[in-house]
Structure 1
């Protein structure tokens, strides 16, 4: 019988670990398994083969991530490798679960840390924008496992939740939602998107080389989907000056000005809970007000 949940307690089940070890080559074994998200997957595995230890990341469905997210992540990593983008490399995939028991992928573990100094350096903020511009240089149309994304973290739609009364709202959020709905989706050529760009999905080496991780909500759409999300995230985390440096980095690498920045900033701000937990809601609101003041 095929397993439907790979986790037993805090560790993945034996069958999926056997698959991961086999994917790393004959004689490979798993020496250590560590969770990377509280008590759930993904998992960081220490794999021993021929006397050497390699760190890899195992992904499989959890209460937070379904099979579609696993398939999207695998497809995105394959495309990232094809274009030399700053992302982990896909080592193995079993998307139908025929070998591992559940849909699963294995990828390289990005070297470095997700920790940021506070305040962050201007150079680091610009580097994040430049990294996104590199991803967005891949023009493409939606395809299997990489669907059209009209907003960041497209599995969430907090604006729709507020409209439907499933979440409380505020005058600012209601006004912003009305303006964005009336504005309509801007036109533009679609590009490859990461889909969930925030400081925790950016891994830095000591030399400030960045790798984008966690591609489970990747897709295709306007560059502003990613750019607006990152600008919102750094505004909330680091303050109102940070978003401009992200924009500078994106423009410097791409050589063009992004279109509809205010629209996509507002879309990103709207796709958040009404009250933020563990983050200053007033910074989100200030970011949103600035976007609305520039919305044409």
Structure 2
């Protein structure tokens, strides 16, 4: 059995505030015998203060950007000193070895070891003005199982989760700073269309790949962004086992990975029943629509 916690909380540019929040949830996790805690995207240093061309996300400027953190730097070491033997996934702005390039990144680690890192591949709404894109998806062996990492907008792309499931991911941790819609925002954010999409993607990706899906998210506000929380754990059947809804907090669920996989994959096993031989046109498709499919399929 593995006990998983998924966090919805607010993280800012104040690193000491971030460390206090991490310590608070680490304490809660120990009290509930949690083995894996998934913190949100940009939990160390906060996310961007807006999305789109609003003048505060200009690439390679220091204005409004999160602190750039090296994997071997003091910030990661501080987090490791807080968590001890607890396994966590956490997001931050990674500074590459060239000292200039920034990535929206995540790592899975405990107090002694970094098991794996990930750089966000899919970038929404001008995020490329602040970060360079990553180029691959890794799956990492950890004390809690085989875990893949995604960040936010990645969940909108079925291919991202599928490639990790095919690489043996049992748990996919999807770390987000997912806000409400920028226009026509619902009065109750739980009813907002972007909240609906966030939750729908989580259920779909878990069910698509018959994996445990752990979605963390920021909550509260930062800059012009109003986050929708809804941290959750979803089982391989697409069922939400626990959620925070809009509130800050930690959703917790105890899961038996081996038994659940044996049960839910006993009949229809999506990874086994794929037909890769008919999917090859995907990389040649015209993204504007079906005409591209017809051209590539009959070329």
Higher strand share: 2
Rg comparison, structure with higher value: 1
Higher helix share: 1
How would you bin the TM-score normalised by the shorter chain?
under 0.3
TM-score, with structure 2 as normaliser:
0.26
